[in-house]
Amino acid sequence: MNTSPLTLNEETDPFCLAPEAAAALLAEAPWRRFAVIGDSLSAGTGDPSPGYLDQGWSDRLADVLRRVRPDLEYLNTAQVGATTARVLEDQMERMARFAPGLLHVPCGANDLLRRSPDFDGIEAALRRMYDLAAATGARLTTFTLARAYVVPVFPDWRERVLRLNDVVRRLAGEYGAVVVDMWDHPVNDRDTLVSADRVHFTTSGQAVMAAEVVRALAACQ
């Protein structure tokens, strides 16, 4: 869908959800403690888009959940540039102390940013993260990397992402995590999806991501 940015905003975007509609989908949501760990993709980093609230997907989701549970507690420890190993080292202990009921875990995007990724090592680190996350008893969520996310310096980037996405889907299936699969989502075809760095979703993409997480959570209630 190559829709001009001049014709789209949060009210007209077919992939977005109005806050009231999102809250209605999660009206039975039991979670009172929502945590996010990971990297800049977990944090919702991205350039602003005209017509869209300047807010990342995870903060958007927290706001939706607060409409359902006004007493919601929200923790976001995501760090720009964090690898899975860094998440394990720097974020898991604080997350466990928080005792979330809903927990978003990262998909290891920064693990790909090396000359030769060690996919066995990446999977082992992600599995350790899932072990610790699952031990909280929280409902887990994650997402796959979108095909619009491209790092041109690596000519095999598409293959790297496809392989990592396969690992994420497999682990999520094993641990019962809710997966928002962004690899082939139609929003990838928008020339306004990614920020100037060609990595992070703009806030229009963040709005779509938040809506897809809400839909996925609603489907599993």
Fold of 5-220: Rossmann fold (3.40.50)
pLDDT band at 3 (very low <50, low <70, confident <90, very high): very low
Domain parsing of the chain, residue ranges: 5-220
Return d(Cα 174, Cα 3) in angstroms, integer.
Answer: 37
Contact indicator for 108, 146 with CB cutoff of 8 Å:
no
Mean of per-residue pLDDT scores for the chain: 95
Return d(Cα 173, Cα 164) in angstroms, integer.
Answer: 14
Residue 2 pLDDT > 80: no
pLDDT band at 7 (very low <50, low <70, confident <90, very high): confident
Return d(Cα 170, Cα 51) in angstroms, integer.
Answer: 37
- Tens-place pLDDT, residues 71-111: 999 999 999 999 999 999 999 999 999 999 999 999 999 99
Return d(Cα 73, Cα 33) in angstroms, integer.
Answer: 5
Q: pTM for this structure? A: 0.95
